Amino acid sequence: MIRHVLLLQWTTEATTAQREAALDGFERLPSQVPHIQNLVLEEDEGLAEGNADLLVTMDFADAEAWRAYQEHPAHRALIESALRPILARRSALQHRLP
Amino acid sequence: MIRHVLLLQWTTEATTAQREAALDGFERLPSQVPHIQNLVLEEDEGLAEGNADLLVTMDFADAEAWRAYQEHPAHRALIESALRPILARRSALQHRLP
């Protein structure tokens, strides 16, 4: 199994509605992209300046399933419609699950 | 409980020895900073360009324990000696554990 880990930081101009639309979009993804397992979304607690706003983790059976997700139309649409307009910074990593 | 999540990307000049020293430094931290619980280190699988290199997660009893960690001499020393010299990008977030 592969875990995909994302830390996303929104722009300061991002509205609450835009932030919620991004979360809603992620929450809908597993119903649109069958490869996604165990989606977890966690928002920052606000303990420090300059933090990311959202942690996203998703699990995939293997690298091939992760690549299918990367290219999936629903994922591409979420990026273009809800993420890119409000994204200030993105950091990602994929690691093997024991 | 609070989970501290870090994605760290090393400079391209970072040597294998420097990267390993950073990992070793993190692995020693729980023995030096009693507030740290459940330290997890995961290295990137290399599936995508521009990814972070290391995921670090640690749990703390509460925000106060997390702050004590932030200011702890052993943490400060690790940053100055092993992390800052090879750090290209850092993204962090803290979230509440259920």
Residues 6+ apart with CB under 8 A from B20: none
Taking the C-alpha atoms of residue A18 and residue A84, their distance in angstroms, rounded to an integer, is: 11
Contact B5, B66 (CB under 8 A): no
Per the CB < 8 Å rule, is A92 touching B7? Answer: yes
A contact set with B (CB within 8 A): 2-3, 5, 7, 9, 42-45, 47-48, 50-55, 63, 66-67, 70, 89, 91-96
**What pLDDT sits at residue A24?**
98
Query: Nearest CA of chain A to the CA of B3: how many Å?
Result: 10
Residues 6+ apart with CB under 8 A from B96: A42, A45, B1, B2, B3
What architecture does CATH give domain A2-96? 2-Layer Sandwich (3.30)
**What pLDDT sits at residue B66?**
98
* End-to-end alpha carbon distance in chain B: 8
Average pLDDT in the B52-65 region? 98
Taking the C-alpha atoms of residue A33 and residue A82, their distance in angstroms, rounded to an integer, is: 17
Contacts of A55 in chain B (CB under 8 A): 5, 93, 95
Q: Where are the domains of chain A?
A: 2-96
Q: What's the pLDDT tens digit per position in A33-83?
A: 999 999 999 999 999 999 999 999 999 999 999 999 999 999 999 999 999
Q: What's the pLDDT tens digit per position in B4-40?
A: 999 999 999 999 999 999 999 999 999 999 999 999 9
This model of the complex carries an ipTM of 0.95
Taking the C-alpha atoms of residue A76 and residue A33, their distance in angstroms, rounded to an integer, is: 11
Average pLDDT in the A19-31 region? 98
Grade residue A21 by pLDDT with cuts at 50, 70 and 90. Answer: very high
Contact A92, B51 (CB under 8 A): yes
**What pLDDT sits at residue B85?**
97
User: Is residue B98 over pLDDT 90?
Assistant: no
